[in-house]
Each structure stands twice: as structure tokens, then as C-alpha cells.
Chains A and B, each alone.
Chain A
Amino acid sequence: MNRATPPPDVSMRPSQLPLPEAHTLPNGLRVLTLPDSRAPVVEFRLVLPFAGRAYDAPDWVGLSSATARLMIAGTPTRTSFEIADEADRCGGSIGVSANTETAILSARCLSASLEPMTRLMADVLLHPTFPPDEVEIDRANTLQRLRLQRSQPAFLAEERLRLALFGAHPYARLAPDENALQRWGVDELRAFHAARYRPAEATLLIAGDFETGALLALLADALSEWQGGIDSEPLSAPPLQPAETGWLLTPRPNSVQSHLMLGALCPPRDAPDSLALQLAVSLLGAGASSRLFLTVREQYGYAYSVGAHLDYYLRIGAFVAEAQTATENTHDAIRQIRAEVERLIHDPIPADELQATQNYLIGRHLLGRITLGGIADLYKQAVIYHLPLDYWQRYPEMLASLTATEAQTAAARYLSPEGFVTVVVGEPGLDSDS
């Protein structure tokens, strides 16, 4: 053996991802179980598909997030302190968050505390009281947190990008409306919860160290009074054309860097060429051997962090290339990012580079399966995006079978730099170069 060349290559061992078992509780709740005793821990993910920001009424934007945050603020038998204290004692945590479309209750505990944690979760889910004093504290603190977020370039950029991509469509919503924030009270929170936290369309995913039969019996008992479905129109898809394109500056006084986000729209995750596009975008901007990293950072030194990725919503996808660069390099960095996109669209992708990207994505996916929380989150994605449950089992094979032409065709179809949204958060007065 010599030391001048890398050791002989040995291919990756395949690893089998276990498939969850699907059950339906008497109240209609779909339960997916993945018993796995690699750690004495249980992970819960409850996906509520119609309780996210997109389902806020237009004059109540942010109510969904407040409802989610305040789910752990009290029940008839527990104060907010008692909920937090009990979750801690279970060696765990519990919280609810509202996302673009869904609300998700996430909980975890040591397996020895499975029963108390399940009872706590059921109480929080079924009986939130939204105590008036807690609502006031949340209102005041949310306003300050919003100020804090709007002092951070990454948040300002994300907020502006969404507005440009989606205009009046609810996918544009990120922060609460400050006017609505002043108005909601216990009645609105209770009404949102009553209407949208229902079992019939929801899925509860549980991964970890438990015995399935006993757990299902416990759930059926703890959640027995949770009933009903949601009478909700599904959300319409936004247009595939951004509401605004071109140079969009969000002035941020005293900035020493420009936070750049270049965006475009693409079809949703279940579209036929979605995986080919993911492959192309990863080759462009995922990881330290991606084209953007090697040019914008390693060749030009314009940025510490640079990359590209796809953000998926249920009805659409968004391409985002992102970097932070010194104010004086703003235009040069944007030019280099656009040049790399042009190269991706126009020049054939070398076979070895394609293979390397496929290996990277497959390997990174396998790393996501190391922990119980990682496995739970994979299946959570499948539930949120309506993917078949065996999607992640087939993912490595589907990815490996894609060709360079398929990747390039998908990129050329959706990533045209002339149609990009160019969000810049930085020095007031920075002008478009063109």
C-alpha cells in the first residue's frame, strides 16, 4: 500500500430504512409507528395539515402562529409552568409551531416516561385554555421578537423574497401582521384551535423505543375525546411566475455586508422532474464541492457562506441561491452566481461531477437516518408533502438513476437568470448594476 493515492474504494453498504406501520384510531387519526430501540427515547411528530399560516384569515395573519405558541400556555388542570416542568421531568420537550401550511406538534421523552408524556401531549392538544395573562405576555414579546427578527439580515431577506415570489398568495406570509397582533384574544385563539386542530386529516408519527400495541391502546384512551374533521378548502397553487422580479433592495442602515437571495419558482416536490431539479441545484450549490462554493468562495473569496437549495411548499417549489458578501462585492458576487447558473443551463454536466453529487446526496440522506429524531423528521416530510411512505426507501435508487441530461433539462426549464428575483439586504442606496 502506498500513501500517495487514496485507499482502494469500497462502495457504500446499503442500509434499509424501516417502513412505518400505519394504523387508524377510532377518531380517524392516522398513526404511523416505527419501533426502534437504538436509544431509550421516543419521538412524536403530529402533522396538522390545515393549521398553518396559509389558513389565517386575511385580516388575522399570525393568529395561527399565536395559537401554536400558546398551546402550551395552560389547560384546565395545568399551568404553563406545570406543562414545562412536567415535560422536563419526562426527559423531554413539547412544543407546537405553525409553518407555511401545517402546524406541527413535536415532542420527545425518555422511553421510561412514555405514558406521562403521552398524557401531557393529549392534554395540551385537546384542552388549551389560552389564559388571558399568557396571551398578553405573548403579544408583548412577539412584538419585540419581531423587531429583533427585523434587525437580522437573514430574516429581512427571507421576508422580502417571499413577498416577491408570492405577492398576495398566503405563501408570502412569514411574520404576523402587527395590526392583527394587537387585536386577537382568547376568543379568536380558541376558535382557531377548535376549527383547525382536528384528528380526521391529521397524522401522528411516533419513532423510538416502545411496544406498539401498548402505545396504540394508550393513545386511543388519551385521545378518545378528540373528534372531528376540518371543513376547509384546499389552498390554491400560486402562479409559477413571481409577483415581482429583478433588483429588490431592503435598506438596512449600518450594514457592512449585503445578504443576497436570488430566487425563482418551480413545480412542487411531487412533480415528475422535481428530483432531477434537486440534483442539478445540489451540483450548483450544496456542500463544499459545489460549483458556487468553489467559485464564489474558494476562487474569489466573496463569501464565507454561499449555496443554493430548493424550498418546497405543498403546491410549488422555490429555488434560492444565497450568499453574504462585503458591500463593495455585491455586484461581483451576484454576477458570479448568475454565471454559474448560466453554465449549469448551457454546458453539459460532466459524468464524474454528476456521480459525485449523487453520492453526496445519498450519503447525506443516510446520515439523516442515524438518529431517531432524524428518521422521524424524514417521515414527517413524507407526510407534509404527501409523498408515498416508501419514498425515502426508494430515494437513493431514484437519485442514482438520473442522467446528466435530465438534471440539465430540469435546470434549464426553471432556472433562467433573466427571470430571477434578486433580493439584497444591505446599505441603503445600493443600486442595481444593470
Chain B
Amino acid sequence: MNPIATTRIEYETYTLPNGLQVILSPHKVAPTVAVLVLYKVGSVNEPRGKTGFAHLFEHMMFQGSENVPREMHFKYVESNGGVLNGFTSYDLTAYFELLPASKLPLGLWLEADRMRTLQVSQENLDNQRAVVKEERRLSVDNQPYARAMERLRELAYDNFVNQHSIIGSMEDLDHATLADVQAFFRTYYAPNNAVLVVAGDYDPDEARAWIEHYFADIPSQSPPSPVDASEPDREERREVFFDPLASVPAVALTWKIPPRGTLENDALQIAGDLLTDGRASRLYQRLVKQEQIAISVSGGAEARPAPSLFRLFALHHPHVDPTRVEAVLYEEIQKLAEQGVPERELERVRAQLLAQRWSDNLYYGMQSPLGRALGLAYFAAFEGDPDGVNRALERLMSITPDDVQRAVQQYLHTTRNRTVMHIQAGAMQEGAA
């Protein structure tokens, strides 16, 4: 059998009169169901002075709606044997419940109630502001390399909407008000700015009826104004970053590249896999094994619906000059640009693409209803068609050596749009003790 054909995700889609796109994808492997609501809003929608707001708002969505008091969202889901979460990205915010199959109506009721109304107080906002500040300390301010990565993004991009971090600054978090919360809710949390996906073990006719009952009369809003996330071309930018928490030095590189859904982005996904995916990858073999200058190399192409970054990050031995690490990275890119890639090497990458599709990761693997739901939702929201999730694999599998070589020549084998950061390890002495 054609190995790609077996990976097809079946689904049906329709739109309610209020503009909510619904995607149903029944799949009866385990008695579990995933309810996912994706809102087309992320950190790109934040103006200056409001960084971190989309993510802080995500926290507020768990703080109470008309019929679900504070704390009860967690309790309804967990006491019924489910798990839940939400996450905020540059371009989207998503909420999900993964529930025992018989509890599907509960998940739909909870999501509809908080799409219809948000009932939060100043006290809730202050509490979640404190929680998010701890999240910032945990994930950024108290971690080696994390502040460097935040700074790298500011340098890599030229447009403010792309530059700032999702978690935002402490100062901006302090300025968020309850009025901001309500305005943001009205503008972005409307059915016509959302996609609802139900995947897993359920009866689609029953699901349709529940969805009609809970979601159909949530009023739509005038669509939010589109964000200009475009990026100008520019020359190379460099910085040395002193990280007092890091104990091993690093080199980080980025290039601005085209958005998802383009041949160039697809080809650069493949280039990223060739260069950094696993111990057989070119950069691992060259920097870690052959030259023995790096401890690890990671990176690859982002797939945002906006100008994206191709990133490389190498942790290197303290005695090695970072400019040497940089030079070897460029040599490997040059090799790819000048000599291309043998078909046989692409075959290895294709086998891994298929394997990733079948991964058992609950968030992106096809074995998991949540993985299926997220795949469908991303393509519906970003490329206008949930079937993109099926075509994308075919698209990636058919990328040719020429496609990869051309994209590398144009976007990576150049100083244009490149950003270089050398991260100095300030905690080298303590770390070695």
C-alpha cells in the first residue's frame, strides 16, 4: 500500500451561520475524544506596550464564564477523567480537552460557555498576572539561554509584531487592565474568528446536534483588522550576548524565510531536517563528530503563517572560538547550496517524515485524537483548508533535491536577513564546580 495514503486524516467540515468553522474527524481507536478550539489571535496581535497580553488573556479564559465559575473549568474536566490545557503562539491561541469518549458534550458545553461570555474580576486578573510573572521567571528569567533567545528574536525581525516574545515583558504585564481583557475578548474571541475541531471516538450526528445547541447562537463580531506582519529585507546583524546563567557558550543563527504553505518554506523544512535532525544529520556529523567543536546542534525552519525564521543553535566547547563554529556552519550551508543533496539522503528524511506522522506524541502524532485535531485546525486556520494536513505530507515527500538546493541558495547561503549571536557563558566557573 502507498505509505502516504494510509496516513490520510478523514474529516468533514461546515460553518455555522455565526461564522464558526466546525471540523468533525471521528476515529475509533481508543474511547477518547479531543475538543479543540483555535482562535486566530496570538502575540502578533499585540501592540507596543501590551506585550504578553494574548498569553495573559489565555489564562483568563480559565477564570470563569457565565455558567462556569472560577476553578470549575479545571474541576469539571478532571473530575470527569479528562485533561485540559491552552497554549498561546505567535499566530494562534488554542484550548483543548482530551476526555473519555462519553464526556464529549461536557467539553463542548465548557468551550461554548467561555466563547459566549467571560466573567472575570480584578482579583482574578491580579492573581493570573502574578502566575504569569512566575511563568516568565520559570521559563525565561531563571533559565540559561532563554533571555538570549528572546533577544535573538528582537534582532532577527524588523517588524515589532514579530519581534516581541509571547510571554511579554514584566512592565507590560503590569499595565494590563480588566478593560483590556474585555475588549480583547470581544474582538478576537468571536465564533467567526475561531475553528472548532472534534476528533476521536464519537457519533458525528450527535456531535452536530450538541454543537448546534451550544454554539449556534453565539453572536459573531466584526472581524478584527488584519495585522501587517511583513518584513523588509536587510543586511546581517550581529550581537554578543552575555548570559550570567549559562555555563556552556553557544552560537545562534537565524535567517528570515517565507511563510508556511510555500514551496520555499517546505524545501527549507527539508533542509532543516538534513542539517539538524538526529545523529545522522550533516551538522551533527560535522560539528560534533568530525570537528569535535560542538556538544549539540539543533534548529530548522519555523512554519508560521508569516515571515518565519530558519534557526541554528550550537552549544560549543569553551576552548573553541565562536567564529570557528560559525564558519563551519556556513561551510555546510555552502556545500548544500553548491553541491545539492543526493536523492538517497532525501530518502532518509522522508522515512522520518512518515515516522513523525505516526508518532505517539499526544500533541502532534496521528495516533492521538488531539494530534489529529491540531493538524486539521492549523491548516484550516492558516491555509484556509483543513485538507492541507493531508496534502502537506505529500508536498513534503515530493520535495526534490533541486527544490532544496534552490531554497538554500536563495535564503540561507547569504548574509541577507541573517542574524548572528554569540552567547558567552557567565556561569562557567560555578557550573564547573
Contacts of A304 in B (CB 8 A): 131-132, 134-135, 138
Q: Which of A49-57, A184-192, A219-227, A294-302 contacts B (4 or more CB under 8 A)?
A: A294-302
Name which residue of chain B comes closest to A143, CB basis.
Answer: B432
Q: Is A214 an interface residue (CB 8 A)?
A: no
Residue contact A88 to B280, C-beta cutoff 8 Å: yes
Interface membership of A40, Cβ < 8 A: yes
Within A317-352, the residues touching B (CB, 8 Å) are 324-326
Residue in B71, B317, B351, B352 whose beta carbon sits within 8 Å of that of A298 in the complex: B71
Closest chain B CB from A397 CB (angstroms) = 14
- Residue pairs across A and B with CB atoms within 8 Å: the count is 241
Contacting pair B347 A89 (CB below 8 A): yes
Residues of A with C-beta under 8 A to B78: 287-289, 356, 359-360, 363
- Write the nearest CB–CB distance from B141 to chain A, whole angstroms: 5
**How many whole Å from B162's CB to the nearest CB in chain A?**
25
Chain B residues with CB below 8 A from A303, complex form: 131, 134
Measured CA separation A191–B214 after assembly (Å):
66
Interface size class of A (residues with CB under 8 A): 35 or more
Verify B81–A366 contact, CB threshold 8 A.
yes
Give the residues in chain A near B285, CB-CB below 8 Å: 81
Asked if B229 is an interface residue, CB under 8 A from chain A, the answer is no
User: Contact: B3 with A11, CB < 8 Å?
Assistant: no
Report whether B134 and A11 are in contact in the complex, using a CB–CB cutoff of 8 Å: no
| CB nearest to A10 among chain B residues | B102
Q: What does the 1/0 interface line of A360-373 toward B look like (CB < 8 Å)?
A: 10111011011111
B8 within 8 A of A: no
- Which stretch, B17-25, B305-313, B353-361, B401-409, touches the partner chain A? B353-361
Does any Cβ of B come within 8 Å of A137's Cβ? yes
| B-contact bits for A1-43, CB 8 A (1 contact / 0 none) | 1011111111111010000000000000000000000111101
Q: Tell me the nearest residue of chain A to B141, going by C-beta.
A: A256
Closest CB-CB distance, B118 to chain A, in whole Å? 15
- State whether the Cβ of B299 lies closer than 8 Å to any Cβ in chain A: no
Q: Which of A146-154, A196-204, A232-240, A407-415 is the contact stretch?
A: A146-154
User: Is the CB–CB distance between B280 and A84 below 8 Å?
Assistant: yes
Q: Give residues 77-103 of B contacting A (CB, 8 Å).
A: 78-84, 98-103
How far, in whole Å, are A374 and B362 apart by their CA atoms in the complex? 9
Whether B81 lies near A363 (C-beta < 8 A) is yes
A298 CA / B80 CA spacing, docked (Å): 21
Q: How far is the CA of A105 from the CA of B102 in the complex (A)?
A: 37
A15: which B residues are within 8 A, CB to CB?
Answer: 30-31
Residue B130 is within 8 A (CB to CB) of chain A in the complex:
yes
**Residues of chain A contacted by B247 (CB below 8 angstroms):** 147-148, 150-151
Interface size on B, residues (CB 8 A): 90
* B7-35 interface bits toward A, Cβ cutoff 8 Å, 1 = contact, 0 = none: 00000000000000000000001111000
Determine if A84 and B137 form an interchain contact, defined as CB atoms under 8 angstroms apart: no
A3-B83 in contact (CB<8A): no
A363 and B82 form a contact (CB under 8 A): yes
Q: Identify which of A3, A4, A140 contacts B317 (C-beta below 8 A).
A: A140
Chain A residue, CB-CB nearest to B142: A257
Contact B315 A144 (CB under 8 A): yes
> Are B362 and A371 in contact (CB-based, < 8 A)?
yes
How many angstroms from the CA of A356 to the CA of B71 in the assembled complex?
14
Whether B367 and A3, one on each chain, are in contact in the complex, defined by CB atoms closer than 8 angstroms, is: no
Q: Determine the chain A residues whose CB is within 8 A of the CB of B113 once the complex forms.
A: 3
Decide: A289 and B71 in contact? CB cutoff 8 A.
Answer: yes
Partner of B430, one of A11, A253, A288: A253
Determine the residue in chain B with the shortest Cβ distance to A355: B79
Q: How far is the CB of B76 from chain A (nearest CB, A)?
A: 6
Contact between A324 and B30, CB atoms less than 8 A apart: no
Q: Which residues of B contact A299 (CB under 8 A)?
A: 127
| Interface contact A88-B366, CB-CB below 8 Å | no
A110 partner, pick from B138, B213, B351, B366, beta carbons under 8 A: B351
Determine the distance from Cα of A257 to Cα of B347 in the docked complex, in whole angstroms.
46
B367 CB contact (under 8 Å) in A11, A298, A325, A370: A370
Tell me which of A11, A289, A324, A325 has the highest count of chain B C-beta atoms within 10 A of its own C-beta.
Answer: A289
Give the shortest distance, in Å, between A337 (CB) and chain B (any CB): 14
Q: Given A91-B354, A359-B80 in contact, is the A40-B131 Cβ separation under 8 Å? A: no
Contacting pair B144 A370 (CB below 8 A): no
**Residues of B with C-beta under 8 A to A254:** 244-245, 426-427
A-chain residues with CB within 8 Å of residue B127 when the two chains form the complex: 298-299, 301
Q: Which residues of the partner chain B approach A359 to less than 8 Å between Cβ atoms?
A: 78-81
Instruction: Give 17 CB contacts A-B under 8 Å.
Output: A3-B67, A6-B106, A7-B108, A15-B30, A41-B367, A43-B360, A81-B289, A141-B295, A144-B295, A152-B143, A257-B142, A304-B132, A324-B138, A366-B32, A367-B83, A367-B98, A372-B367
Given contacts A3-B67, A4-B67, A141-B295, 12 further A-B contacts (CB under 8 A): A4-B66, A91-B354, A91-B358, A110-B351, A144-B318, A256-B137, A301-B134, A359-B81, A363-B82, A366-B30, A371-B362, A371-B368
Top 4 nearest A-B pairs (CB, nearest first) are A363-B81, A301-B130, A373-B360, A356-B79
Write the residues of chain A forming the contact surface with B, with a CB cutoff of 8 angstroms.
Answer: 1, 3-13, 15, 38-41, 43, 72, 80-81, 84-85, 88-93, 108-110, 112-113, 137, 140-141, 144-145, 147-148, 150-153, 252-257, 259, 287-289, 293-294, 297-305, 324-326, 355-356, 359-360, 362-364, 366-367, 369-374
